[in-house]
Amino acid sequence: MIKLASPETQQQIPHLADTADATAAAAAAAAAAGSAAHQEETTFIFKSKLPDIAVPDHLSLHSYCFEKSFGFGDRPCLINAPTGVTYSFSDAELNCRRVAAGLSKLGIGKGDTIMILLQNCPEFVFAFLGASMIGAVSTTANPFCMPSEIRKQFTAASARLVVTQAAYVDKLREFLTPGEIPVVTVDDAPEGCVHFSVLSGADEREDFRGPDISPDDAVALPFSSGTTGLPKGVVLTHRSLVTSVAQQVDGENPNLYLSGEDTVLCVLPLFHIYSLNSVLLCSLRAGAAVVLMPKFEIGSLLELIVRHRVTVAPVVPPLVIALAKNPMVEKFDLSSIRIVLSGAAPLGKELEEALKNRLPQATFGQ
């Protein structure tokens, strides 16, 4: 703030009057310039040199992801790393529709929320997109959290059903009474739970009637990591996720990293939005195969890369350290990898260079 001398003081000190006039003029000019700069700042839009992307945000998320798959229905879509079981795009979409029918039979409908408490597996995908097909919302939770943390998310999301694994049922029993809500397990069904086959075995032709879904309806409710306080639910609509995926894999952009020829490593947990959005959903839209790995173990990861000729490896800094520093890496042929994408946290230049030395053929992005 500029404070000017009084007129009386200006008269007593002649040169001060000139200074005051100049200062006032400068202040006025600065204010005008600031106002103009503010106006320009709020109205100016940077235009990309690339063509605009036509975002089909009138589509529901599941319709968008599978929109092009009729042209490559027999192509591998989901590969379950522990078992080697592979689902084609046609298989994957059919399983999603059956799970949608199964959820409907269990009383889940439009606007309801289910909790997915799973490691990476095909059933995660079927539950998430099956819920989307009936207008339900999925809140994705970390199965390694404490029961109290899971309870907070479950309560905040008002979940009406949980899809999980038998190993995590005891965590749910700490706050759920038997029979309070359906608990569906993808492996052995403990007492009081139902097996996932109850969902995946439903008849999508008889039991599934998809509701009208607005692009502005919620489809996902992931929770933040809590870096600025307690974790918070983030409401994501069909439109927001379709738009996010479109800007990553649609359009005429030479920087687009996915195509139908790719096999994508999915070791990052799907309950985090990075993996759910930029790995799984983008791969489905692009027609790429996804190798679903439930947890990170360097030897298993390297074997999977070689066995399935992985071409795209989305990672986070701890995985970059393993790939760049672990001597075991030298024993495996990783020449199939053409792109490594690191997210969640920045990488130092030294670590980036170490990774490039290990994978000289790959393009690195973060």
- The answer to whether residue 16 sits within a structural domain is no
- The answer to whether residue 341 sits within a structural domain is no
pLDDT at 8: 42
- The answer to whether residue 163 sits within a structural domain is yes
Query: One digit per residue, pLDDT tens: the chain, 366 residues?
Result: 333 344 443 444 334 334 344 444 444 455 555 555 555 567 778 888 888 888 888 999 999 999 999 899 999 999 999 999 999 999 999 999 999 999 999 999 999 999 999 999 999 999 999 999 999 999 999 999 999 999 999 999 999 999 999 999 999 999 998 788 999 999 998 989 999 999 999 888 776 677 899 999 999 999 987 667 778 899 999 999 999 999 999 987 666 778 899 999 999 999 999 999 999 999 999 999 999 999 999 999 999 999 999 999 999 888 888 888 899 999 999 999 999 987 766 677 777 788 888 888 888 877
For residue 5, the 8-state DSSP code is P
CATH, residue 119 = 3.40.50.12780
- The answer to whether residue 101 sits within a structural domain is yes
pLDDT at 233: 93
- The answer to whether residue 15 sits within a structural domain is no
Residue 207's alpha-carbon distances to 105, 145, 312, in angstroms, are 7, 35, 38
Sheet of strand 76-80: strand arrangement: 86-88, 76-80, 289-292, 263-266, 312-315, 339-342, 363-365
pLDDT at 116: 98
- The answer to whether residue 305 sits within a structural domain is no
User: Length of the chain, please?
Assistant: 366
pLDDT at 7: 43
How many folded domains does the chain comprise? 1
Range of the domain at 226: 68-295
| Cα–Cα distance measured from residue 40 to residue 33, given in angstroms and rounded to the nearest whole number | 10
State which amino acid sits at residue 87. Y
- The answer to whether residue 353 sits within a structural domain is no
- The answer to whether residue 193 sits within a structural domain is yes
| Cα–Cα distance measured from residue 283 to residue 289, given in angstroms and rounded to the nearest whole number | 7
Quick one: which H or E segment has residue 248? Answer: helix 238-249
Which residue has 């309070």 as its token pair? Answer: 180
Which residue has 């139902």 as its token pair? Answer: 194
